[in-house]
Amino acid sequence: MPALLLEGARVPVSRLRSRGASLLRSREASVAAFTVALGVSLHVATGRFFSLENLTNVLLDSATTAIVALGMTLVILTGGIDVSVGSMLGVVSVAVGYATAAHWRLVPVSLAGIATGLLLGGLNGALVAYGGIMPIIATLGTLSILRALTFQLLRARWISDLPPTLQPLGLGTLLHVPVATWVALALAAGVVYLTTYRPMGRHIYAVGGNAEAARLAGIDLTRVTLLVYAITGALVGIAALVYVGQTGIVQSNTGAGFELQVIAAVVLGGTSILGGRGSPLGSVLGALLVAEMKNGLILLNISGLAEGMVTGALILLAVGADLLRRRGRW
Amino acid sequence: MVGVTRGDRLLRLVASDRPRFLLGVLLLAVAVFALTTPDFATLYNLFNMTQYGVEIGLLALGETLVIISGGGSIDLSVGSILSLSGVVLGLLTMQAHINVWVSALLGVLAGGALGALNAVLITVVGIPALIVTLGTLYAYASAALVLTNTVPISGLPAGFFVLGQRHVLGIPLQVVVVFLPVALLLHYLLRHTVFGRALYSVGTNEVAARFAAIDVRAVRFWVFTVSGLLAGLASAVMTSRVASARPDAGMGYELQAITVAVLGGTSIMGGEGTVLGTILGVLVITVLSNGLQLAGVHPIWQLGTVGLVLVVTVLVNQWLLRHRVGVL
């Protein structure tokens, strides 16, 4: 914020106003406004939304999605996609689950989880960057392979009765806010720093905007591609730690369908599926919105079965309205 | 062209065309299973296993059409349409007491309507296909669950099971009366009609197609509608084969359908893909899962195999094209 104000102080008032207007018009602002409006309506309707307990639930529910959505944003910004994150979450959760069950301490378990995720993400990156396979195809492949691997590693059982090693990370709170949310926020700050202030971050946008132009400008496409998938893998590793800490159980279908929830959060947050346009912050807000909506169904006593109808309608409404609005303005 | 041997030329012939490459993979797989697995190469098994490819094959054919139309077109909702059409079939038969065959027809049409709804959101409102069908993937699946309260619909009249459980000359009936006619029709549509040519041209270069007076939006509208119809058809076949309509019947099928279409040589960029390629893709997947099952490989690896085959096939194909055969 201060950087924006400082920069704004040096530009004429008219441009300042247009900058303020563009901030308000930004997708993040409309997602944030929508999130608040939905929260207020839910509170008016049920009187229970803005309680500490309920808000904590919403934050806990959104943390894993938000963490992985940060990485997915980078991947989608380059014009790629990673549909394997759900299966990856399954495999890493198994690794983390076994390590926890073997009474590893928090730090080694965390390092093992992140390393496993990094490795799997790196595999996706290598298939895309070196193998020359289209991202959707490569990650569709690893989606199936890693899901089978999850089954194989669990041998048709599930891991439960885990020691509480990861519980502080999954369920603990710090200053009334879940630790998992602090983790998500810290990671978000890191990713925003990367995309805004680091050359690599600008390269990510450049590759998604026009890969050929980026290559001609001397950007190493292979390196950028490898990096975004590897980061996503590492973030899945962190999300798996949170997930196992929250649920205390790992099953063969752990993470199934998670990829769509993450993509929904990114898309709701305003990142263009065509690449080159979007922001990690928007995706975090998108993840929050998805969790808030799920929570709303519970508060309103609507059957959980209808969740998909509401999520689906929400995605279409948010993106459709944004599109129509933008078209009207142009 | 120094040192081009006959082997290189053969390799080039195979690698330059995905259906040919897949045919090679298929023959190899059949040969390996025939030599290593006693029950594989029986006429009964070879015919009988095709029934498992019908449903995924129908979805993959729809996906092929959609992906050919380009501009990022993809249909993630086919699995959910399959589930919801089956529920429509089941409810119309069991609750509204409509004749089961009429219900099946209405179920297929419901699939078409759901596809058309996707199509309207994509072509009229202008939301990217990936986002529209991601949204309807959730919405249709959830509608199927709400309508049935998650309870599968069974007790359908036994006469309906003919479609999915009988054989003619040892070949499963659904292959003969549903899959082959549909495949032939679509092959004709793509290769010998104005619509087919328009479809490839829209997928290859949308702007050029528009300048050639092709109604790009109409083409895209129809491919998504047809994809929905085929998902409805797959649902009727599946309901008949397993004798009940499960509200989650199509869960996860969308990714398998896309996998098969891509394996068959459909380019995700649009403008490329054939019915024959997709059929070969289904055959490869079907033979592999059947062979592995007979060889005693744990069923959980059948899913993994689909992924492995996809990645390895595309990787090997790419590698052959790049390193062994040079630029074509």
Q: For residue range B241-275, what is the model confidence (pLDDT) as tens digits?
A: 999 999 999 988 888 898 899 888 888 888 889 99
**B141 reaches A (C-beta below 8 A):** yes
- What are the pLDDT digits (tens) for B53-75? 999 999 999 999 999 998 889 99
Confidence band, pLDDT 50/70/90 cuts, at residue A24: low
Residue (of B213, B220, B215, B61) closest to B133 by Cα position: B220
Chain A residue whose CA is closest to B311: A141
Residue B42 CB neighbour total at 10 angstroms: 12
pLDDT given at position A132? 83
Stretch A46-73: mean pLDDT, rounded?
A: 92
Is 60 exceeded by the pLDDT of residue A18?
A: no
CB within 8 Å: B145 and A311: no
| Poorest-pLDDT segment among A260-264, B190-194, B318-322 | B318-322
Out of B126, B141, B258, the one facing A140 most closely (by C-beta) is B258
E strand or H helix at B168, and its extent? strand B167-168
Provide CATH code, domain A49-318.
Answer: 1.10.3470
Interface of B with A in 142-181 (CB under 8 A): 142-143, 145-146, 149-150
CB within 8 Å: B142 and A264: no
pLDDT given at position B90? 95
Shortest Cα distance from A127 to chain B (angstroms)? 8
**A83 reaches B (C-beta below 8 A):** yes
Q: How far apart are CA B87 and CA B93, in angstroms?
A: 10
pLDDT given at position A329? 52
**A322 reaches B (C-beta below 8 A):** no
Residue B1 lies in a domain: no
Residue B306 lies in a domain: yes
- What are the pLDDT digits (tens) for B191-217? 999 999 999 999 999 999 999 999 999
pLDDT given at position B259? 85
Preferred mutation among B73, B131, B255 to probe A, highest tally of A CBs within 10 A: B131
The DSSP result for A76-114, as a single string, is HHTT---TTHHHHHHHHHHHHHHHHHTT--HHHHHHHHH
- What are the pLDDT digits (tens) for A86-118? 999 999 999 999 999 888 988 999 999 999 999
**A327 reaches B (C-beta below 8 A):** yes
Task: Identify all chain B residues contacting A267, using CB atoms and an 8 Å cutoff.
Answer: 131, 134
Shortest Cα distance from A142 to chain B (angstroms)? 6
- What are the pLDDT digits (tens) for B138-151? 899 999 999 999 89
Residue B112 lies in a domain: yes
Q: Which ipTM was obtained for this model?
A: 0.76
Higher pLDDT, B284 or A29: B284
- Count of domains for chain B: 1
Residue A73 near residue A280, CB atoms below 8 Å: yes
Q: How far apart are CA B328 and CA B318, in angstroms?
A: 12
- What are the pLDDT digits (tens) for A38-58? 889 889 988 888 888 889 989
pLDDT given at position B22? 85
A–B CB contacts, 8 A cutoff, strictly below: 144
**B299 reaches A (C-beta below 8 A):** no
Domain boundaries, chain A: 49-318
Residue A299 in tokens: 């508060």
Greatest C-alpha distance within chain B? 73
CB within 8 Å: A313 and B308: no
pTM of the predicted model as reported, rounded to 2 decimal places: 0.83
Residue B316: give the domain boundaries: 6-324
Residue B265 lies in a domain: yes
Stretch B31-35: mean pLDDT, rounded?
A: 89
Stretch A6-29: mean pLDDT, rounded?
A: 51
Interface of B with A in 220-279 (CB under 8 A): 252, 255, 258-259, 262, 268-269
CATH of the domain at B242: 1.10.3470.10
